Amino acid sequence: MIGFALIIFIGSQLLALPAASSTGTRTAWIDALFTATSATCVTGLVTLDTGTHYSTFGQIVILLLIQIGGLGFMTMATLFAFFLKRRISLKERLILQESLNQSSIEGIVRLVRRVVFYALSIEAAGAILFTCRFLYDMSPGRAAYFGVFHAISFFNNAGFDLMGNFSGLTGYVGDPFVNIVTMLLIILGGLGFIVLSDLTDLRRSRRLSLHSKVVLGMTGILILFGAFVVFIFEYSNAYTMGNLGLGEKILAAFLQSVSPRTAGVNTLDLASLRQATQFFLVVLMFIGASPGSTGGGIKTTTYAALLGAVYAMIRGKEDVVLFRYRLSQERVYKALTVTLMALALVMIATMILSATEDHQFLEILFEVTSAFGTVGLSMGLTLQLTLAGKIIIILLMFIGRLGPLTMGYALGPKPGRVLYRHAEGKIIIG
């Protein structure tokens, strides 16, 4: 937690410098802090346009913050230790285990090497593909710069772009190449490095872990179902998809389904979406990506565990079973705790912002969920936030990236030894 806070503080100081601004003037510190938090927490919400307000120096600072935030503070610290040829201590291995959501420290350093290798390889491939496409629209140097920036931003599910005027990728709504490359980068970044490692070893091991099966299954279901819902609700909306061809509508529906999984990229004007679509995107943003990934939210595995628990209760079964494996009671409790803490956080923040900001309730709920899920999608509220509103969104992005449970562990009292157990009691449920 301290590591992330330190990176954000350093980033905010750099972004506040006159050299970081395209006009050569100092950026207000609260806006620099907001941008640094958004970049480090790979969110994408901005109070100033990245493409026009910041200079090349400022944009590179943002890019470095995205890379550090996406890989994780502990992963980057371990990477520096490799370069310095320093031995990784047991304590550091235990922290890495928690940082990467692993069940043991066995092979944790090897996994860190893989994380860095996968990230850099996928980002390099994305940068080459984007550069080839942008060569048709701009000079070679600018195309290469845009290609690298957007590949790193989209793979890390950050959602920052350089297109200018807060337009996102709306200019490429019908471009299949840009849409498909963007979606692949977002999905690969959101699956999690553990799943990518499993998929790489699939030819040798010939089996996937339960975690990978659940992540891949839930990701596929959410993307397909999300695209179907967006396509149905927005098909005839003249302000979004109504004037697009069938192929463009399908592309737009899929990208708007993939993006709320914490990426923050949009090809449609979100403020013009129907309210039903906007609320559905709130649900997708709340669920988020998968554990050990560059994304946020309560995570796909948490949602799967909750669905499994509901199904087991309805069927009158004691065990929660996924893919013929029984989940321990501890895992179900953890999923329930994460979800309730996240719900409470979103509800409290929405109530406070409803008092400080003069906007519609759905706009505020959308922005709050986007910040907590480190998504970065916005209906325009972020640009009009008051000082109090900016501070609340900054805190939400920070907590959302670390996870409410991690914050609870870090700030809460350490549990002592349990000396007794209470007698069992009964209450009526439902």
pLDDT in tens, 308-322: 999 999 998 888 999
pTM of the model: 0.88
The DSSP element (H or E) to which 320 belongs, if any, is strand 320-322
pLDDT (tens digit, 9 = 90+) per residue, 355-403?
999 889 999 999 999 999 989 898 989 889 999 999 999 999 999 888 7
- The helix/strand/coil state of 54 is strand
**294 φ, ψ (degrees, to nearest 5):** -90, 0
> What pairs with residue 321 in β-bridges?
326
- Give the range with max mean pLDDT: 187-196, 289-298, 358-367: 358-367
pLDDT (mean) for 237-262: 90
pLDDT: which is higher, 67 or 104: 67
The DSSP element (H or E) to which 274 belongs, if any, is none
Task: Round to whole Å and give the CA distance between 78 and 68.
Answer: 12
Task: Round to whole Å and give the CA distance between 247 and 177.
Answer: 13
pLDDT for residue 144: 95
* CB neighbours of residue 295 within 10 Å: 28
Q: Exposed, middle or buried, 395 (CB in 10 Å: 0-12/13-18/19+)?
A: middle
pLDDT(103) > 90: no
Mean pLDDT for the chain?
87
Give Cα separations from 284 to 225, 256, 259 (angstroms): 10, 10, 9
Cα atoms found within 13 Å of the Cα of residue 430, Cβ hemisphere only: 2
Give Cβ neighbours of residue 284 (< 8 Å, ≥ 6 apart).
222, 226, 257, 260, 261
Structural tokens at position 395: 């805190």
